[in-house]
């Protein structure tokens, strides 16, 4: 037993000296979503691969359920290097890296399949590079599928008129507030963690998100109508703190990039299964899914696309051309 321990002790410095100056680096990963959520499961699997493939030079700890703070707070921690990796919503990145707002436009993607083609191709990589090259102090590695966002509310929204004056929670991005306002609602920005009580107390009449989020955060308890507006289909970047990235060897950087891209594909399979099961559970809990005529909603948001889309006119044309 003692001999074995001595051999192990001897082997450790050798392993480190073989890989240059690399030291065991602890990667703390933050996600606002709870354990078992598609993004979290894919990220945990990515972490296991990182640990195994790096021979223990990288360690990985998952902090799900928003325990390290809101997405905005997590980004700030990642910028300082206190959190090493995170999955964040584009809505939070948009105000700081305006180029990502091309993906934040209402109805810029025809459907989920179109969005996935775009993020898997050169446009998706270009937007990741823009985040990395910005002053944001983050390296953007891959995309998670954040689903299709629809409006859910206490009173049914069957037409554009029904939305008039309704207070709808959105992520903190002026573009999203203007999108809801253009459709006749009253967009209010707040953190995910505040939505449940805001619905309960009547501070808001509804919110907009995908079925898994509505289910996992228990919003369905106070909002029984889910209107399939499909106004936003948002991919979400998986990012690493630039300070952490620069501590990695080129081999480790290549490994992190590789496992992140694998997580991008794995999460989408998990996402599709989770979306279907969430929809079934919401219906069983009494939520009414409402199919709406999307054209009036699309037309109502033309001003938003004109205002915010002007700098990205060429990129939007390229997105539209992806088949």
Per-run averaged pLDDT (10 residues), the chain, 323 residues: 38 40 81 92 97 94 95 92 93 85 94 96 96 94 95 98 97 92 97 94 97 93 97 95 96 97 97 96 98 97 94 94 96
Question: Distance (Å, rounded) from C-alpha 60 to C-alpha 42?
Answer: 13
Model pTM score: 0.84
The pLDDT of residue 257 is: 97
Contact 282, 211 (CB under 8 A): yes
CA proximity to 264, closest of 116, 86, 47, 62: 116
The CATH class of 23-321 is alpha beta
Burial class (CB in 10 A: 0-12, 13-18, 19+), 313: exposed
Output Rg (C-alpha) for the chain, integer angstroms: 21
Closest CA to 230 of 53, 87, 96, 107: 107
pLDDT at residue number 23: 59
Cβ atoms of 109 and 319 within 8 Å: the answer is yes
pLDDT at 315: 94
How many residues in total does the chain contain? 323
Predicted pLDDT at 181: 98
pLDDT at 22: 47
| Domain range summary for the chain, segments of one domain joined by + | 23-321
């Amino acid at each position: 037993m003692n001999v074995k321990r001595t051999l192990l002790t001897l082997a450790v410095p050798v392993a480190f000296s073989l890989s240059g100056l690399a030291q065991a680096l602890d990667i703390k990963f933050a996600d606002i979503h709870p354990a078992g959520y598609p993004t979290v499961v894919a990220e945990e699997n990515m972490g296991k691969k990182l640990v195994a493939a790096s021979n223990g030079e990288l360690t990985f700890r998952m902090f799900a359920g928003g325990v390290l703070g809101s997405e905005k707070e997590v980004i700030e921690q990642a910028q300082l290097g206190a959190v090493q990796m995170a999955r964040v919503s584009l809505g939070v990145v948009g105000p700081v890296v305006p180029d990502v707002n091309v993906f934040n436009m209402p109805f810029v993607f025809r459907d989920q399949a179109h969005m996935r083609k775009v993020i898997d191709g050169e446009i998706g990589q270009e937007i990741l590079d823009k985040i990395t090259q910005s002053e944001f102090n983050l390296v953007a590695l891959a995309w998670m599928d954040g689903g299709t966002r629809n409006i859910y509310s206490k009173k049914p929204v069957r037409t554009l008129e029904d939305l008039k004056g309704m207070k709808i929670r959105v992520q903190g991005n002026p573009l999203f507030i203007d999108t809801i306002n253009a459709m006749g609602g009253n967009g209010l920005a707040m953190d995910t963690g505040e939505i449940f009580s805001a619905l309960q107390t009547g501070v808001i009449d509804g919110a907009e998100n995908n079925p898994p989020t509505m289910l996992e955060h228990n919003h369905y308890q106070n909002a029984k109508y889910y209107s399939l507006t499909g106004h936003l289909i948002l991919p979400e970047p998986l990012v690493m703190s630039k300070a952490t990235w620069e501590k990695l060897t080129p081999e480790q950087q290549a490994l992190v990039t590789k496992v992140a891209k694998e997580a991008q594909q794995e999460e989408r399979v998990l996402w599709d299964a989770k979306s279907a099961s969430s929809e079934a559970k919401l219906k069983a809990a009494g939520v009414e899914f409402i199919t709406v005529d999307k054209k009036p909603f699309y037309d109502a948001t033309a001003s938003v696309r004109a205002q915010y889309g002007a700098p990205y006119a060429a990129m939007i044309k390229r997105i539209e051309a992806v088949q």
